[in-house]
Amino acid sequence: MRGLAAIILAVIVAALSAPAAANSAPSAYYAGLAQQETRLAAAAYRLTTASAGWCPQTAPQPGWILGDLRRFEPQDRPAAAQAYGASDGPFVAAVAPGSPADRAGLTSGTRIAAINGVAVPTYSDEPTIRIDAIIVTLNALDPAAAWTVTDADGRVHRIAPAPGCASAFRVELGGAQAAANGMLVRVTLDLAQSVADDEELAAVVAHELAHNILRHRDRLGSNRSAARIRQTEFEADRLSVWLMAGAGYDPAAAIRFWNRHKRPLIRDASHPPRSERIAAIEAEMAAMQTARAANPAARPAWSDAPPPLE
């Protein structure tokens, strides 16, 4: 298990190491970060649990976003520690209201010393290695069973089961605006702060979650040609419509997002222009409406066995 976990962690770290952001206004900065982490926790909890039936792998979804002071530059860590009420070690950065973590009494700054009585390991100095270790641990648990968190004071919190898609979420301090690697969805602080409302944030999260559900990273493999990436972008846009609707969001929030968000998420010819994305989302909304009028439980036939990437 330790060997496998180390390999998985190496993949996460290689794919997702993002630069820490320098900052000059600590308290406002951390308050803003915490605010976006709370919004992301809420959207992620709602989308992952509502979408459980779509996912190739499910895992317990406690409804938290995890933090670690190592994500910040050494000179910024005291301010971050104060803002979160955190000490060294992985901690709860934010919880979704009403989620299992919230109901168990976990709050910002709660340090996670152990999961099911097993201490969270520290494999290296990587800024997120301890958070990633927790993600790997949760993915190996029975999603339908309760589990426990031991905090820094030795208190044991029982976390109620809440099966959801096996994806974790993070507000990044820099790097690409939004990305998904199969296990983790990351959204930058800038992007989270730029969306108009919670529904637009959910649209971004649903798109990235769809990449993970559709196993795009695996399916692309080493052939990341522009045409293949475009195909994955359209698939994610289309599936996000169903995920949004399933979680009680308005799928049209994605259209509002793209109409307002003139700057491409990734400056790359492989990513479709937003006019094409909007058209694809509109077409999928119409298809969903037609399918659901005939059968309220209808799903798109293509999503369970998507056509090969070409």
Smallest gap from Cβ 55 to Zn ion, in A, equals 17
Site track for Zn ion across 181-220, x = CB under 5 A:
----------------------------------------
Tell me the number of residues near Zn ion by CB under 5 A: 2
Contact 138, 59 (CB under 8 A): yes
Window contacting Zn ion (CB under 5 A); options: 36-44, 134-142, 228-236, 248-256: 228-236
Distance between CA atoms of 214 and 236, rounded to whole angstroms?
A: 8
Smallest gap from Cβ 207 to Zn ion, in A, equals 6
Smallest gap from Cβ 233 to Zn ion, in A, equals 5
Residue placing its CB nearer to Zn ion in the complex, 80 or 236: 236
Window contacting Zn ion (CB under 5 A); options: 4-12, 136-144, 236-244, 285-293: 236-244
Distance between CA atoms of 262 and 216, rounded to whole angstroms?
A: 25
Residue placing its CB nearer to Zn ion in the complex, 76 or 235: 235
* Beta strand spans in 4-125 (E): 58-60, 64-67, 91-95, 114-115, 118-119
Residue placing its CB nearer to Zn ion in the complex, 70 or 207: 207
Q: Which residues on adjacent β-strands are paired with residue 169?
A: 185
For residue 17, the 8-state DSSP code is: -
Q: Pairing mode, if any, of strands 64-67 and 58-60?
A: unpaired
Residue in 286, 291, 219, 279 with CA at minimum distance from that of residue 254: 279
Residue placing its CB nearer to Zn ion in the complex, 132 or 233: 233
Window contacting Zn ion (CB under 5 A); options: 6-14, 69-77, 226-234, 280-288: 226-234
Residue placing its CB nearer to Zn ion in the complex, 40 or 236: 236
Contact 41, 96 (CB under 8 A): yes
Smallest gap from Cβ 157 to Zn ion, in A, equals 35
Where do we find the tokens 């289309």? 238
Residue placing its CB nearer to Zn ion in the complex, 103 or 271: 271
Contact 89, 81 (CB under 8 A): no
Residue placing its CB nearer to Zn ion in the complex, 93 or 243: 243
Where do we find the tokens 């996912």? 55
Smallest gap from Cβ 206 to Zn ion, in A, equals 11
Distance between CA atoms of 305 and 141, rounded to whole angstroms?
A: 26
Smallest gap from Cβ 169 to Zn ion, in A, equals 15
Contact 115, 137 (CB under 8 A): yes
Smallest gap from Cβ 242 to Zn ion, in A, equals 16
Residues that bind Zn ion (CB under 5 A): 233, 236
